[in-house]
Amino acid sequence: MTTWPGWLGRLSPARRRFHLVVAGLLVATVVLVGHRTVSDRVGTDPVDQAERGPVLLVPGYGGSTGSLETLAAALPDAEVVELPGDGTDDLRGSAEALADRVDEVLDESGASSVDLVGYSAGGVVARYYVAELGGDEMTRRVVTIASPHHGTDLAALATSIGGGACAEACRQLDPGSDLLRGLNSGDETPAGPLWLSVWTRTDETVVPADSAELDGAINIRVQEVCRQGPVSHGEVVRDPVTVQLVQAFLDNGLTSYGVVC
């Protein structure tokens, strides 16, 4: 039985294999200068879209699972991922926790990929996992709901106040944070999965609300679908329009759908 040293020994078997493959590829190629994602190095092919696997729901800042109960009930084989520090710690650490759970779910189910649905900051966590931790090879589709992909002015204000008013994850949602600059400096929707972003124009938490849009994704504002009035940040994840859009995207990529308003 092989004994793996240091950090390799703490990884799950699936992630250990992934890191070893990446290491081998790096040894065989020239050293790249500057920041490159795992997807850039490996040259990821699109994930098989025909095979639907388990669905992992990623909660937002604060880690509340209650907001995801409606979606969990509507989606088969869905589970809510628990994030360290209730989602208020380093979002990179939350992405690592998501990566660990993806590995476990794939090992348990025998599926080749998962679908990810991230609400609010959970969408940023899902993006980091796909872009930086090899999730582009293990994720079929990604949905983000009211996610501050380009930051929110509320986090910037809380950061400026200081004095502990803004936890680490909050500071990382400042539009000028290193984490968001890194995610948005290149391809906002890396190859591998298909991407959907659902948002509301009356979001009082993601400011400005169109911070939720992603280049390369299908971007849908709920008011465009049913001409709804105000839908708040907390309401949009439970909204029937959102639920139906997520179901259709995971089922058929939104090639066809009918939303009951």
Helices (H) and strands (E) in the chain, counts: 12, 6
Task: Let me know if residue 10 belongs to a domain.
Answer: no
Task: Let me know if residue 231 belongs to a domain.
Answer: yes
* Main-chain dihedrals φ then ψ at residue 142, nearest 5 degrees: -125, 130
Task: Let me know if residue 7 belongs to a domain.
Answer: no
Domain containing residue 223: CATH number: 3.40.50.1820
**Contact (CB, 8 A) for 241 and 259:** yes
Angle of helix 91-109 relative to helix 13-28, nearest 10 degrees, comes to: 110
Which is more confident, 193 or 27?
A: 193
Looking at the 3D structure of the chain, how many domains does it have?
1
Res. 22 pLDDT band, cuts 50 70 90: very low
Task: Let me know if residue 258 belongs to a domain.
Answer: no
Q: What is the pLDDT averaged over residues 34-55?
A: 64
CA neighbours closer than 13 Å in the CB half-sphere of residue 32: 12
Share of the chain above pLDDT 70, in %: 83
- Looking at residue 116, its pLDDT comes to 98
**Residue pLDDT, tens place only, 246-256:** 999 999 999 87
Q: Residue 48: CB partners within 8 Å, gap ≥ 6?
A: 112, 113, 140
* Main-chain dihedrals φ then ψ at residue 167, nearest 5 degrees: -70, 175
Q: Report the C-alpha gap between 242 and 252 in whole angstroms.
A: 15
Domain that holds residue 241: 32-252
Which candidate, 210, 169, 209, 219, places its Cα nearest to that of 189?
219
Task: Let me know if residue 8 belongs to a domain.
Answer: no
Three-class DSSP category at 27: helix
- Looking at residue 126, its pLDDT comes to 98
Which of 10-14, 70-74, 138-142, 187-191 shows the lowest per-residue confidence on average (mean pLDDT)? 10-14
Task: Let me know if residue 12 belongs to a domain.
Answer: no
Task: Let me know if residue 56 belongs to a domain.
Answer: yes
Share of the chain above pLDDT 90, in %: 71
Which candidate, 257, 256, 245, places its Cα nearest to that of 74?
245
**Residue pLDDT, tens place only, 46-97:** 789 999 999 999 999 987 788 999 999 999 899 999 999 989 999 999 999 9
* Main-chain dihedrals φ then ψ at residue 186, nearest 5 degrees: -130, -130
- Looking at residue 261, its pLDDT comes to 85
Q: What is the dihedral of CA 81, 83, 86, 89, to 10 degrees?
A: -160
Task: Let me know if residue 4 belongs to a domain.
Answer: no
Separation of CA 211 from chain center: 15
